[in-house]
Amino acid sequence: MSRWLALLALLVAACSQSSGAPVAHQEASPSAGQITTQSPSSLTTSPTQTAPATAIPDLSLTTVGFSCRLPIYKQDAKTVDSFISFPSGDVIVDPSGDNGKYYDRAFSRWLTVPRTAVSPDGAHYADVGVGQAGGLLVHVVDVATGRDHVFQESGVQFNGQPIVLDYSNDGIYLVSGFEHLLAGLWLVNPADGSMRQVSKDLYPVLSAGNGIIWTQTVNPADSNPVVTGTSIGTLPNEIDRVDLRSGRQTEWLYEPGKGLKVVGLDGRGLPLMAETGAWTADPNARLLLVTAPDAPTQIYKGVLAQEVGGGVTDAHGTWLSGQGGIYLYTGAGVLLKVSNHPGYPANGCF
C-alpha cells in the first residue's frame, strides 16, 4: 500500500497546540463501504456531485454549512498551492505559494516546510540538512526577516535522515528514518542549538503538544503481523501514548494481525487511526477514533481508511487528504468528503 508510508516526512507529521491554531497534523487518500450515519443538520449530501472514476469506491460529495478557506498543497512535478473556498468548493491557485507546504496565518505567507516544522506562534520554522563530515545543520528561520540561524550538530546518533517531528514550546523535536521510521527522539533548543537525546527506543509518529507524543511499535507477542515484503518491513500493530514529562508510556491500542497508523487527532487530542489487515487494498480496513486505552470506535470501513491521512484539526473537525479529494472528520463522529480536489491540508480552514 504505497500511501501507507508515502513520504516519511508526512508519516511523522505532528501538531502544536496554540491559541487560535489547529491542533493536529499528518497525511492521505479514497475508498469503499460507507457507514450509515446521519449527518449534522448544517450539512447536506450532494450525491449528484461525484469524483472522477477511481479504482477505489469513494464517498459522495457533501456540501458543508459553514464558510471558510482551506489552504492546501499538491505535489506533482512541482508543488501547487491553492485555497478551497467553502461551501462553494471553488479552488483558486495561489501563485505566491512558491512550493509552500504550510500557510502561516500569522504572516499571511506560504512556508516551504510542513506545519510540524513551524513554531506554535508561526514566527519561526526549522529545517535539517547535512553538514560536513556527516554532521547536521539545523536551520531556524525567522519568518518576518528571513534570517537563518544555522546550528551545527553531531550526526553520530542518527542512523537515518533526521526530520523535524514537531517545533513545540519545548523546542524542536527530531526523529530519523530511512525507508521507514527508526527509533529515537532528540530535542534541539532553538535559542542556542544545544541538542540532547530524549529517547533511544521510541518510534514517535505524532506530537500532540504539551509533552505528549504518539508512538508506534511492532508488539512481538503478535504471531501473525502484517508483513509487507518490502524494505518497509512489518506494519506497526501497537500505538502508545507517551508523556515525556512524566515518563509514563500507555499502551493505547494493540491489534494482533493488523497494521495501525495514526492519521491525525480530534479536537481533544485523541488519535484517529487507520487499521488494516493487509498491505494491499483491504475492504475491511477501518478508520477508528480511540478515546481511551483499548477503546476504539469505528468511523468508517473500507479501503479509504487505508488512504486518508495528513490530519489538520480546527474548530470544524479534522481535515484529511486523499487521492480522491479532501475529507473532514466532524465532531459528530462522521467522515465526509467535502472536495473533489486532492491535496494536503496546509493549515486549518479560516
Is beta strand 136-142 parallel, antiparallel or unpaired with respect to 124-130? antiparallel
First-residue to last-residue Cα distance in the chain: 33
Mean pLDDT of 305-330: 97
Rounded to an integer, what distance in angstroms lies between the CA atom of residue 266 and that of residue 213?
14
Per-residue pLDDT of 140-162, as tens digits, reads: 999 999 999 999 999 988 989 99
CA atoms within 13 A on the CB side of 316: 24
Per-residue pLDDT of 162-215, as tens digits, reads: 999 999 999 999 999 988 899 999 999 999 999 999 999 999 999 999 999 999
Mean pLDDT of 279-305: 97
pLDDT at residue 62 in the model: 98
pLDDT at residue 53 in the model: 40
Mean pLDDT of 47-53: 34
> Cell numbers of 294, please?
483499548
- Side chain identity at 193, as an amino acid letter? G
Of 26-35, 172-181, 326-335, 341-350, the least confident: 26-35
92/133: higher pLDDT: 92
pLDDT at residue 343 in the model: 97
Rounded to an integer, what distance in angstroms lies between the CA atom of residue 347 and that of residue 336?
18
pLDDT at residue 106 in the model: 97
On the question of pLDDT at 302 being above 70, the answer is yes
Print the SS3 string covering the chain. CHHHHCCHHHHCCCCCCCCCCCCCCCCCCCCCCCCCCCCCCCCEEECCCCCCCCCCCCCCEEECCCCEEEEEEEECCCEEEEEEEECCCCEEECCCCCCCCEEECCCCEEECCCHHHECCCCCEEEEEEECHHHCEEEEEEECCCCCEEEEEECCCCCCCEEEEEEEECCEEEEEEECCCEEEEEEEECCCCCCEEEEECCCCEEEEEECCEEEEEECCCCCCCCCECCCCCCECCCEEEEEECCCCEEEEEEECCCCEEEEEEECCCCCEEEEEECCCCCCCCCEEEEECCCCCEEEEEECCHHHHCEEEEEECCEEEEEECCEEEEECCCCCEEEEECCCCEECCCCC
Cis bond before residue 256 (omega within 30° of 0): no
Task: Give me the residue spans of the domains in the chain.
Answer: 2-345
Q: What angle do CA 48, 54, 58 make, to 5 degrees?
A: 55
Question: What sign does the CA torsion over 284, 285, 289, 293 have?
Answer: positive
On the question of pLDDT at 315 being above 90, the answer is yes
Per-residue pLDDT of 115-131, as tens digits, reads: 999 999 999 999 999 88
The residues, ordered by sequence, that sit 6+ positions from 27 with a Cβ below 8 Å of its Cβ are 3, 6, 7, 10, 11, 13, 263, 309, 310, 321, 344
pLDDT at residue 28 in the model: 31
Q: Considering only the C-alpha atoms of the chain, give the largest distance between any 2 of them, rounded to a whole number of Å.
A: 60
- Residue 221 pLDDT level (bands cut at 50, 70, 90): very high
pLDDT at residue 55 in the model: 61
Per-residue pLDDT of 18-34, as tens digits, reads: 323 333 333 333 222 22
Of the chain, the percentage scoring pLDDT greater than 70 comes to 84
What's the whole-number average pLDDT of the chain? 86
On the question of pLDDT at 317 being above 50, the answer is yes
CATH match of 2-345 with 2.120.10 = yes
pLDDT at residue 14 in the model: 35
pLDDT at residue 51 in the model: 35
On the question of pLDDT at 292 being above 70, the answer is yes
The residues, ordered by sequence, that sit 6+ positions from 14 with a Cβ below 8 Å of its Cβ are 25, 26, 116, 165, 166, 173, 206, 207, 208, 213
Q: What angle do CA 91, 345, 177 make, to 5 degrees?
A: 140
